[in-house]
Amino acid sequence: MKTAAPNQKLQFLLLGTVGLAVLPHYPHLPPLTFGFFAALLGWRLLGVRHPAWLPERRVLFLLLLLGIALLFTERQGIFGRDAGTNLFITALGLKLMEMKRERDSCLIVYMAFVAAATQFLYEQGILFGAYIGLVCCLLLTLLIAMNGLQHPIAQALKLAVIFVLQAAPLAAAMFILFPRLDPPKWLAIGSETRNRTGLSEMLEPGSITNLGLSDELVFRARFDGPLPPPHQRYWRGPVMAATDGKRWVQAQNFERYPKSNPQVSGRPYRYTLLLEPQEKNWVFALDMPAEFSPPLSRNANFQMITSELHGQRAAYKLTSYPDYNTGPLSSAEYRDAIQLPGTPSARVKELVARLHGYDAAPELFIKSLLNHFRRENFRYTLEPPKLDANPIESFLFDTRAGFCSHYASAFVYLMRAAQIPARVVTGYQGGETNEVGNFIQVRQADAHAWAEVWLDRRGWVRYDPTAAVAPERIEYPLDVSRLSPGETIYFESASGEFGKIVSLLKQAGLIWDTVDYGWQRWIINYNGTHQANFLAGFGIKGSRAMLNWLGAILIAATVMLSLAILYRRRRKLDPALRIYVRFCGKLARKGLVKGTGEGAKDFAERVKAALPEHAGEVDGITGIFMNLRYGKRPDPKDIEQLKRRVAAFKP
Amino acid sequence: MQNAINALLDSANQILLGKQKQIRLAVCCLLARGHLLIEDIPGVGKTTLAHTLARLFGLEYQRIQFTSDILPADMIGSSVFDAKNQQFTFHPGPIFSQMVLGDEINRATPKAQSALLEAMEEHQVTVDGKTYPLPEPFFVIATQNPSHQIGTFPLPESQLDRFLMRIELGYPDSAAERLLLTGRSRHSLIDDLAVALPPAQLQRIQKEVLQVYASNALLDYCQAIIRFTRESPSYPAGLSPRAGLALLTAAKAWAYMDGRDAVIPEDIQAVLAAVAGHRIRAGHLDAAAVVAPILSQVAV
């Protein structure tokens, strides 16, 4: 065992790979922890060339204390995913400073494997998996290179890739067959705080930008009858009535509004909602949900709430009516619905006046406002310019570019400026229809914000100002694959004007979606239930049967591999020898085993002494074999002769 | 031709009792145009073997007794001033002979040893800038005492390599011993021997030996042996390419003596100890023990 640390090139490679293994933690780790680790890694990198710069023992001890203090300030405890990852990464960083001997380097490689594995606690995408696979190949390369044998790095890398490829079938078998235990609920407790993309309880024009690009599935709705037309596909989420001019939140006391039962009419939609695991207890129902059963309930904002939240997919049966009247407004509701942060500025008042906000019926004002959006060069984009202190006014008068929350919030603001009760509703709009399964799939990209205005005798009425600017946003699903930052959004109906490249890109995007969907469906979602269902299709039921099958497959694979290797070696044998080996096999059963270094002639002598009655056959066979193998002019026809004689030979 | 060889072996076996294998190896060495080194304690018949072979092959025979004060000129010869012709004339030494017995070669100083070994390699000697070819066939049998005896200069490996084979005679078994004790003196027996294989025939055989066929399978085995000696940790040095060639040539001669026109692994195995033993000598093991792992572990 060498005691010296690996050479400089290896050290650089090791530290670089450790960096690569930890790098994807950047979004999840607290900045201080990540910074601490990055600083230690940088220090260690410098230390490769200048070992004198590395900290001595006392400094190392201080670093340790600093690391512990940092962990303490994060206040995450020591249980759960985030706390564990923090602790581990901090420890890895500190261990880097202690890379004195080969043993330390090996330990660091192993720790880096674990660090790479922790990434999967946060992210399970297909590309991400490939990245981690690459990192693991590099780590394996390091292990090979460090364990002597003086492999050049490239050769060690090749060997590592071969190892990984050889291990892949085994891993696949284990993946499919090893019984999956659904994690106990307490294990998930520490991870409750993880930041999932999704609608939040706060709307800040801009906060939905990221959401708009996420392809993550939120729910599926399977309809008993025909699907609702696109302009009716508004899936209601939290309702934002309170604002400080920049952000919108739910009204503080909306729970205490008197609950009213809206009058519903028209043709109902009956559907089953398949909700992906959620963090909030929100259930996104089509407007207006009227028939539902526990655990669902409808709050005063007509939003559906579930009382059960267990981090798993849930199914709810609902009936919604597209036509409804919510009835009169309570005084608390009215107050919240016309609340403004301060008094509107002069140019806002001027705009409201110009659009007849003060002197005409609310319907007319709404119509002229929507016309204003349509005509005055407003455009829809997912990457709007940054808005300053007064986002609504900047949007209305300067930038005129934004997405749903900009339009919804500006619309509501102007309504309130005209003393008309209005509020912002968030949720999802549209969704991808699947005619085969008669269901609608809604993804995070379909997140939307629209407005509701309370009108006399009609109650809360939905207006979507975004539709005025970009009607396609409502009529067609958002074409996420064609988005590029800062660009004006185009929708599927607008294709064709971009020519072939765009449609090719779109095609590629669709294929990628399919691949990714398969990955999510078959790999990531392969949990205990799926496994049981999948394997039951092959007649494998129960975890014991799974383990038995796994064992059987492993044994079968080993045997087949061994046979393949043996067969390959035998195929290289010259045919005469192959037949002769059969002859030796027959004799071995009689206890006459040919020695490794024993020539055929010597062996024949020994056999003849032991089995004098077969002397003639043995001599014949040995003679033909030796002539075939060593003779000056072997006769190929003798092969058949040899084969026949060996077949006939029965000692 | 095989009959002649067998008759020769029979005659030799009458003289040296109970040494069939060694005699066969010695003859094989001669047929393969190699030189022979016999290593053993005095009095076991080294000189007798050499003398017998010379007799049976009808070769001109000279014996050089090596001592610690022997000089190269004592073997090679020297130029002497001839008063009558008023010039130097070369008087060839005992080495100008078809069969030379170098007795107790490790008693001589390295200088004398190397003079002999050079002649063996080159088949010629150079005196005063003039080159004199040695007769054909030219065959050297050198004997040496076990090197731990007092007053010896052991041959270095590079010079041991010049001998195709090295054999040991060993004590005769008791029956042979009894015959030795009771029978006629060996010297008188040798004097009675008739030539069994004249030099012209020997030279033809030597040419035919080289025509013996070695198949690819056989060469594979030969190379496996060479590779084994190079890779095995129990040998300080593996067989050199020259040693490999020697092994194959000796095996060809062995096959020829057996009346075959192709080499088989048993031929290699038969000559291996004599050919390889002194080249990869490990410690003070005898040759058979040195090559035993090769014979048992290298797959045929």
Amino acid symbol at A554: L
> Considering only CB atoms, which chain B residues are within 8 Å of A634?
215
> Considering only CB atoms, which chain A residues are within 8 Å of B213?
630-632
Q: What is the mean pLDDT of residues A394-417?
A: 84
Mutation choice for A interface testing from B208, B266, B268, B272 by most A CBs within 10 A: B266
Bridging pattern class, strands B165-167 and B36-39:
parallel
> Considering only CB atoms, which chain B residues are within 8 Å of A580?
none
Closest CA to A152 of A2, A9, A4: A9
Query: Is the pLDDT at A395 greater than 70, yes or no?
Result: yes
Smallest Cβ–Cβ distance between B262 and the set A600, A602, A632 belongs to A632
A459 phi-psi bin (left φ>0, alpha ψ -120 to 50, beta other): left
Query: Is the pLDDT at A191 greater than 70, yes or no?
Result: no
Identify the closest residue of chain A to B221 by CA–CA distance: A597
Nearest Cα of chain B lies from the Cα of A595 at a distance, in angstroms, of: 7
List, in order, residues 6 or more apart from A443 with CB less than 8 Å away: A214, A215, A216, A217, A218, A431, A432
- Give the model's pLDDT for residue A196: 44
Smallest Cβ–Cβ distance between B217 and the set A597, A629, A632 belongs to A629
Is ipTM over 0.90?
Answer: no
Closest CA to A427 of A255, A292, A271, A301: A301
Identify the closest residue of chain B to A576 by CA–CA distance: B217
Nearest Cα of chain A lies from the Cα of B71 at a distance, in angstroms, of: 47
For B211-297, CATH number?
1.10.8.80
For the stretch A293-308, pLDDT in tens is 878 888 888 888 888 7
Smallest Cβ–Cβ distance between A631 and the set B215, B295, B299 belongs to B215
Q: What is the mean pLDDT of residues A578-603?
A: 88
A435: confidence class by pLDDT, cuts 50, 70, 90 = low
> Considering only CB atoms, which chain A residues are within 8 Å of B300?
596-600
Closest CA to A84 of A193, A195, A190: A190
DSSP calls for A157-190: HHHHHHHHHHHHHHHHHHHHHSPPPPPPHHHHHT
Q: Which residues pair with B87 in a beta bridge?
A: B82
Q: What is the mean pLDDT of residues A123-148?
A: 87
**Cβ separation B264–A599 shorter than 8 A:** yes
- Give the model's pLDDT for residue A204: 76
- Give the model's pLDDT for residue B125: 87
- Give the model's pLDDT for residue A525: 65
> Considering only CB atoms, which chain A residues are within 8 Å of B259?
none
Query: Is the pLDDT at A481 greater than 50, yes or no?
Result: no
What DSSP character marks residue A395? I
Worst-scoring range by mean pLDDT, A78-82, A163-167, B181-185? Answer: A78-82
- Give the model's pLDDT for residue A116: 92
- Give the model's pLDDT for residue A513: 64
Identify the closest residue of chain A to B215 by CA–CA distance: A630
Identify the closest residue of chain B to A573 by CA–CA distance: B217
Q: Cα(B67)–Cα(B49) distance, rounded to whole angstroms?
A: 21
| Residues of chain B predicted below pLDDT 50 | none
- C-alpha to C-alpha distances, A561 to A555, A558, A574, nearest whole angstrom: 10, 5, 22
Q: Which residues pair with A304 in a beta bridge?
A: A283, A298
**Cβ separation A597–B261 shorter than 8 A:** no
- Give the model's pLDDT for residue A40: 93
- Give the model's pLDDT for residue A7: 77
Q: Cα(A68)–Cα(A107) distance, rounded to whole angstroms?
A: 21
Query: Is the pLDDT at A215 greater than 90, yes or no?
Result: no
Worst-scoring range by mean pLDDT, A435-439, A564-568, B134-138? Answer: A435-439
Query: Is the pLDDT at A505 greater than 80, yes or no?
Result: no
Query: Is the pLDDT at A488 greater than 50, yes or no?
Result: no
Q: Which two tokens mark A480? A: 């996420």
Higher pLDDT, A621 or B280: A621
Task: List, in sequence order, the alpha helices (H) in B123-197.
Answer: 157-160, 174-182, 186-192
Mutation choice for B interface testing from A584, A625, A632 by most B CBs within 10 A: A632
**Cβ separation A631–B217 shorter than 8 A:** no
Q: What is the mean pLDDT of residues A585-603?
A: 87
Phi, psi of B150 (to 5 degrees): -70, 145
Sign of CA dihedral A504, A506, A509, A510: negative
**Cβ separation A600–B265 shorter than 8 A:** yes
Give the rounded percent of residues in chain A with a pLDDT score beyond 90: 11
Smallest Cβ–Cβ distance between B300 and the set A598, A632, A634 belongs to A598
The catalytic residue positions of A are 404, 448, 464
Q: Cα(B1)–Cα(B3) distance, rounded to whole angstroms?
A: 5
At A331, which helix (H) or strand (E)? helix A331-338
Secondary-structure class of domain B2-202 per CATH: alpha beta
In chain B, where are the structural domains located? 2-202, 211-297
Whether the bond between A328 and the residue before it is cis, its omega within 30 degrees of 0, is no
For the stretch A491-504, pLDDT in tens is 444 444 556 676 67
Q: What is the mean pLDDT of residues A447-462?
A: 87
Identify the closest residue of chain A to B224 by CA–CA distance: A597
Smallest Cβ–Cβ distance between A597 and the set B217, B262, B299 belongs to B299
Chain A residues within 8 angstroms (CB to CB) of chain B: 574, 577, 595-602, 626, 629-632, 634
- At residue B77, the 3 state secondary structure works out as strand
pTM, to two decimals: 0.47
Higher pLDDT, A203 or B52: B52
Q: Which two tokens mark B258? A: 């057996």
Amino acid symbol at A544: R
Smallest Cβ–Cβ distance between B266 and the set A595, A602, A629 belongs to A602
DSSP calls for A509-531: HHHHHHHHHHIIIIIIT--HHHH
**Cβ separation B262–A630 shorter than 8 A:** yes
Query: Is the pLDDT at A184 greater than 80, yes or no?
Result: no
What DSSP character marks residue B134? P
For the stretch A13-37, pLDDT in tens is 999 999 999 999 998 888 888 999 9
Nearest Cα of chain B lies from the Cα of A644 at a distance, in angstroms, of: 23
